Amino acid sequence: MGASDFFLETVFYAFVALTVFGGLLAVRTQILMYTVLGAAVAFLGVAGLFMFLGSLFLCMMQILIYLGAICIVLVFGIMVGYTPRQVAEQGIRGQNLLLAVPACIAAVVLLRSAVGRTVWPAPPDAPRDFSLVAVGRQLLENYALAFELISVLLLIAIIGAIIVVTVKEDPR
């Protein structure tokens, strides 16, 4: 194993560690802002993995969409929807840990058996052109319905966020 292979393997495991530790921080912390920070770190790790795998487009989309949009919306929602005391008190206390662990194990077993029994079609030939124009054309020609559904879902999420933020608390 040469120095180049060792460096690439080290970079790969660094991105994996960044993703895993960011995800653990996101789901295990008791402070809401740290949850968003953990999610951002995990998203950055996934973007690094995309970059490592040679997919610059997916890397940039991961950074723009998840880091640039979703994390900012989460921070905005926390700032608007909670007082500083509520943010500090909010968090996971581990009440349902005894239920969560068996549920996760059951989900993994069910998914693994479903994936193992499925007969998957052969993957299509890889496209030769990876330019932004070719990727955009491919997405808009073959996946237009998915784009429309995602845009409707984002619209519903934005309207829901506006409703949650504008609902006044009951003074009682």
Predicted confidence (pLDDT) at residue 65 exceeds the cutoff of 60? yes
Predicted confidence (pLDDT) at residue 86 exceeds the cutoff of 70? no
pLDDT in tens, 87-97: 555 555 556 66
CATH of 1-115, one of 1.10.8.640, 1.20.120.1200, 3.30.70.1560, 1.20.1250.20: 1.20.120.1200
Percent of the chain residues past pLDDT 90, beyond the cut:
10
Query: What pTM, to 2 d.p., does this model score?
Result: 0.55
* Residue 87 CB neighbours (<10 A): 15
The rounded mean pLDDT for the chain is 79
Give CA–CA dist 116/32, Å, rounded: 37
Q: Which residues of 56-84 are buried (b: 16+ CB within 10 A; e: fewer)?
A: eebbeebbeebbeeebeebeeebeeeeee
The residues, any chain, with a CB within 8 Å of residue 39's CB and separated by 6 or more, are 22, 23, 26, 70, 71, 74
Predicted confidence (pLDDT) at residue 103 exceeds the cutoff of 80? yes
Query: What are the boundaries of each domain within the chain?
Result: 1-115, 128-172
| Contact criterion met (CB below 8 Å) for 89 and 73 | no
Give CA–CA dist 39/32, Å, rounded: 11
Work out whether the CA dihedral 106, 110, 112, 113 comes out positive or negative: positive
Q: Is 121 helix (H, G, I), strand (E, B) or coil?
A: coil
Q: Which residues of 16-28 are buried (b: 16+ CB within 10 A; e: fewer)?
A: eebbeebbebbee
Task: State residue 90's pLDDT score.
Answer: 56
